[in-house]
Amino acid sequence: MSRVFSGIQPTGEPHIGNYFGAMRNYVTLGEQYGKDSIYCVVDLHALTNPAAFDPRLLARRTYEMALANFAVGLDPSRVVFFAQSHVPEHQELSWIFTNLTPVGELERMTQYKDKAGQLESVPAGLLMYPVLMAADILLYKADTVPVGEDQTQHIELTREIARRFNHTFGETFPEPKAVYNKDALRIPGVDGHGKMSKSKGENSTLGLLEDLGSIWQKLRVAPTDPARVRRTDPGNPDVCLIFDYHKLFSDLPTIEMVNVECRRAGIGCVDCKKRLMEGVTAALSPIQERAAELARNPDDIRDALAQGAKEARAIAAPVMEEVREKVGFLKL
Ligand code: TYM
């Protein structure tokens, strides 16, 4: 039997990188796997960023992340959807896994190195981040993990931890595999500086629920092919951020038109961006309308999260029973 698990951090508003890279796959796999697809707002992970030390903000973002996932089509009555802090077994399993994981391996994680490199004092939680992630996945014996490409190394470590546990305590966990959206492995930030990322702030992101006027302001000034200085210069769509976004938002004839016309200076960058904005509007408007509708009944979101936590715990409980017994905790 196959089971799906994925998590998303409530560290900021969800953006189109999260949407195309991961959330759309949550919906597709959710339709396929029903209650064997499990999704989690990972509020414990969010604490590894000291900027999250704002109790009201963390709670609000957890709620908003759930709402955004429901707005893109994830149906909490058909899948399992909850917040990580509501299922304490994640931390219990994580502690056991920390003892199977060499510190050196964690120090080699590229995301750890990137983030730790920017901090004066590095919280131990940041180093343990991928161990908690392994616990998230293996607590449900999930074997399929929809994520963006940036999570590859973490999933590889999860496989390693599963292997080590199985070797030490007997066959228990599957070795999970990442599932990617091959058209959206690593969506670039709208500022042109690397991957679109919540932690880089609003200049990098196009928010899923962001006001369309504000999205246009960002697209309007977004960098394009730097070699195309004048309107009459031919451009190269292969190095243009806007063309990357066209591939996500526009229909095939538009993508083809941009590809051809840009190369022979038949379309200017402003017009090209306007065409893109049409696709963005068509894709995001229905999501934003649905989000506004859902926001009218905040209690429904809370109820869905409470029900989701119950369902998650029901799946996690027998797995933790098995783990406790295998590890050798005294049974009373
Ligand atoms: P997070 O919250 O950073 O991102 C959520 C998902 O969005 C994907 N993603 C992207 N995909 C393509 N292009 C981008 N620019 C982009 N930015 C983000 C991420 O790959 C991710 O799939 N560590 C995870 C959360 C997590 C988790 C888990 C995931 C905790 N436990 C267990 C899977 C399984 C993270 O930081 O996601």
Q: Which domain holds residue 221?
A: 211-291
The answer to whether 98 is a known ligand-binding residue is no
Instruction: Return the best residue to mutate from 41, 97, 150, 208 for the ligand 1 pocket (most ligand atoms within 8 A of CB).
Output: 150
Structure tokens at 106: 């964690």
Q: Sign of dihedral through CA atoms 208, 3, 146, 89?
A: positive
Give the CA dihedral 70, 75, 76, 80, nearest 10 degrees.
-110
59 lies in the same domain as 176: yes
171 lies in the same domain as 263: no
Output the pLDDT for position 266.
95
Q: Is 328 exposed, middle or buried (0-12, 13-18, 19+ CB in 10 A)?
A: exposed
pLDDT digits 0-9 by tens, 73-119:
999 999 999 999 999 999 999 999 999 999 999 999 999 999 999 99
- Ligand 1, CB cutoff 6 Å, lining residues: 5-9, 17-18, 21-22, 42, 45, 133, 136-137, 145, 147-148, 150-151, 184, 186-187, 195-197
Ligand 1 atom nearest to 45, measured from its CA: 30
Structure tokens at 29: 């796999």
Look up the CATH number of the domain holding residue 237: 1.10.240.10
85 lies in the same domain as 231: no
Is 203 within a domain? no
List of long-range contacts for 221-230, beta carbons under 8 Å, 24+ apart: 222/190, 222/191, 222/192, 222/273, 223/191, 223/192, 224/269, 224/272, 225/262, 228/269
Quote the ligand 1 centre to 182 CA distance (angstroms).
15
141 lies in the same domain as 230: no
Q: Which residues are catalytic?
A: 115, 195, 198
Residue 199: band (very low, low, confident or very high) from pLDDT cuts 50, 70, 90: confident
Q: Is the pLDDT of residue 1 over 80?
A: no
Domains held by the chain: number? 2
Q: Is the pLDDT of residue 283 over 90?
A: yes
Is 202 within a domain? no
Instruction: Provide the greatest CA pair distance for the chain.
Output: 79
Stretch 24-48: mean pLDDT? 97
Output the pLDDT for position 200.
82
Output the pLDDT for position 180.
97
Quote the ligand 1 centre to 8 CA distance (angstroms).
6
Backbone dihedral region of 205: left (phi > 0), alpha (psi from -120 to 50 degrees) or beta? beta
Ligand 1 atom nearest to 148, measured from its CA: 20
The answer to whether 195 is a known ligand-binding residue is yes
Average pLDDT, the chain: 96
145 lies in the same domain as 76: yes
The answer to whether 133 is a known ligand-binding residue is no
The answer to whether 251 is a known ligand-binding residue is no
Beta-carbon-side half-sphere exposure of residue 5 (alpha carbons within 13 Å): 26
Instruction: Return the best residue to mutate from 15, 18, 181 for the ligand 1 pocket (most ligand atoms within 8 A of CB).
Output: 18
Output the pLDDT for position 202.
87
73 lies in the same domain as 95: yes
Output the pLDDT for position 196.
95
